[in-house]
């Protein structure tokens, strides 16, 4: 087959995790004595949903001391409490069942320490040969390092993988890494756009 691996972003692709992510940062704001985030602020919501934890907190807490304290607060939050707020995308598990054994499967996310908890909570860990998180690289997305680390792990060329994402951060990372990009429920520069995970099966077989 033309493609040998399918790489998934997590938030907005594998799951609708907006409420969980917002609740996570609202807890940090409360612990830091700050007023709650305004969910109507589209730019703030975009930042907290697409960038790595350290970068998000640097945006909200530009002072070095406050940023370090916010990171400590984040480390005290048990993400298992927030998993019930996440909703798996329609057709995702069914598509994984079809693709498993045909191509390598991986996750490439700007989540840090919570990804393993999420996969275990939804009984998804066994599907993925590699889970690349922001905590495992020096430069998270939109830098190409995470995606390049994935294709290197599988011993394939960037053009032999598909990366499924939903944000400009994902699109930029894919372009920089030379990995064909599939936009999920998003109007972004991409090889193709899909609205259902099942559409990936035909792409992999092409």
Which string of DSSP letters, residue by residue, matches 42-82? HHHHHHHHHS-HHHHHHHH--SHHHHHHHHHHHHT--GGGT
pLDDT at 206 (0 to 100): 72
Pick left, alpha or beta for residue 178 (phi over 0 → left; psi -120 to 50 → alpha; otherwise beta).
Answer: left
pLDDT at 189 (0 to 100): 93
pLDDT at 52 (0 to 100): 87
pLDDT at 45 (0 to 100): 94
CB atoms within 10 A of CB 166: 22
Query: What distances in angstroms separate CA 158 from CA 142, 155, 182, one per listed residue?
Result: 16, 10, 14
Over its length of 206 residues, how does the chain's per-residue pLDDT go in tens digits? 789 999 999 999 999 999 999 999 999 999 999 999 999 999 999 998 888 899 999 999 999 999 999 999 999 999 999 999 999 999 999 999 999 999 999 999 999 889 999 999 999 999 999 999 999 999 999 999 999 999 999 999 999 999 999 999 999 999 999 999 999 999 999 999 999 999 999 999 87
pTM attached to this predicted model: 0.92
pLDDT at 204 (0 to 100): 92
- Cβ contact 132:108 at 8 Å: yes
How far is Cα 92 from Cα 188, in angstroms, rounded to an integer?
Answer: 21
Residue-wise pLDDT tens digits, 112-168: 889 999 999 999 999 999 999 999 999 999 999 999 999 999 999 999 999 999 999
């Amino acid at each position: 087959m033309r493609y040998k691996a399918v790489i998934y972003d997590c938030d907005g692709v594998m799951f609708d995790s907006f409420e969980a992510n917002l609740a996570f940062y609202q807890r940090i704001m409360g612990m830091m004595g700050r007023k709650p985030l305004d969910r109507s602020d589209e730019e703030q919501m975009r930042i907290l949903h697409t960038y790595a934890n350290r970068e998000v907190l640097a945006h909200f807490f530009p002072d070095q001391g406050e940023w370090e304290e916010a990171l400590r607060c984040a480390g005290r939050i048990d993400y298992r409490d927030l998993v019930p707020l996440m909703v798996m995308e329609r057709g995702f598990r069914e598509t994984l069942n079809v693709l498993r054994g045909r191509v390598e499967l991986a996750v490439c996310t700007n989540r840090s320490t919570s990804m393993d908890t999420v996969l275990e909570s939804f009984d998804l860990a066994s599907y993925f040969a590699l889970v690349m998180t922001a905590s495992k690289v020096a430069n998270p997305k939109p830098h190409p390092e995470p995606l390049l680390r994935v294709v290197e792990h599988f011993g394939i060329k960037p053009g032999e993988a598909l990366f499924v994402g939903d944000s400009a951060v994902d699109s930029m990372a894919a372009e920089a890494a030379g990995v064909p990009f599939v936009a999920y429920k998003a109007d972004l520069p991409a090889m193709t756009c899909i609205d259902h995970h099942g559409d990936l099966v035909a792409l992999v077989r092409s």
